[in-house]
Amino acid sequence: MRSILLRRASNIGLLEQPIPVDSCFRRNDKKSKHNILLEAMISFLLLAVTASVSLAAVGCDLNDPDRDVKRLFPGSTGFKTEYVSIDKKGGDSLLHQVEQRLGDKFQGLFETKDVPYTMYRIFRGKLLLGYIHGVNQKGTYGGLQVFLAVDTSGVIRSLYFQKLTSKAAKKLRDPKFGRQFNGLSLVDFYDYDLATGKTAGKVGKIANPAPEAEADFRSALRAAKKNLILIDEFLLGNRHLKYFIK
């Protein structure tokens, strides 16, 4: 019966040669394999792009500069933004110098030499009032973003947590804790030993509002010291470098 149907189809021009049914499946299989290969290549490219983005250096900007500048510098009328990096200014040599002043090695995505730092110069008219700068810092349960507002001499006016992932976040965000940093400068933080957490100077008088979160408290102090070093390097012309004792 099958041969009769094929002959009739051939006679009326519908079928010049019989096509085995399984050949259709082979063609579909080839097409399916091609699609799978194409999908695999696309997935690989997407993963590569995602990986490159995730491995990129991570900077720290104010979420709302207009609002935050007004809050941190009441009476200011404007600001200018400057983008800098250790890599562009001095590379490995500068990174080593910064690490020496910090008393610790840079680690992770937050502390590579190509991290873009966003420096804010704050003005009232043409008068320079001071600077704002923030850094990322690794905490116990996630990242911290610690901003400092300093005057033109590098003295802290206020400390601000833009991001704080910690069980003690409420206590660390308490204005009473932040006010303990006011009036301190890099000269004071040079005495703070990151490895031991000890200091004989003013930084040692900063009280931890959450003893159960000692690691996050020390992370905040590390971020403040690192921040002041970067401000000194990029904005103050290393005004406080002469006070550093290797």
pLDDT tens string 14-50: 444 444 444 444 445 555 655 665 565 555 444 443 3
Alpha-carbon distance 197 to 225, whole Å?
12
User: Lowest-pLDDT range, 44-53, 92-101, 161-170, 171-180?
Assistant: 44-53
The pLDDT score that the predictor gives to residue 53 is 35
Determine how many CB atoms are found less than 10 A away from the CB of residue 170.
11
The pLDDT score that the predictor gives to residue 39 is 62
Chain centroid to CA 72? 22
Average pLDDT, stretch 232-238?
Answer: 97
Q: In what order do the strands lie in the sheet with 78-84?
A: 78-84, 117-124, 127-138, 143-151, 156-164
pLDDT > 80? residue 12: no
Per-residue pLDDT reduced to its tens digit, 77-106: 999 999 999 999 999 999 999 999 999 999
Residues 76, 129 contacting (CB under 8 angstroms): yes
Q: Where are the domains of the chain?
A: 2-54, 65-243
User: Lowest-pLDDT range, 14-18, 127-131, 147-151, 220-224?
Assistant: 14-18
Rounded (5°) CA angle 86-88-94: 40
The pLDDT score that the predictor gives to residue 5 is 40
pLDDT > 90? residue 226: yes
pLDDT > 80? residue 110: yes
Between residues 64 and 199, which one has the greater pLDDT?
64
Residues 155, 117 contacting (CB under 8 angstroms): no
Average pLDDT, the chain: 84
Percent of the chain residues past pLDDT 90, beyond the cut: 70
Listed residue (211, 194, 212) closest to 203, CA to CA: 194
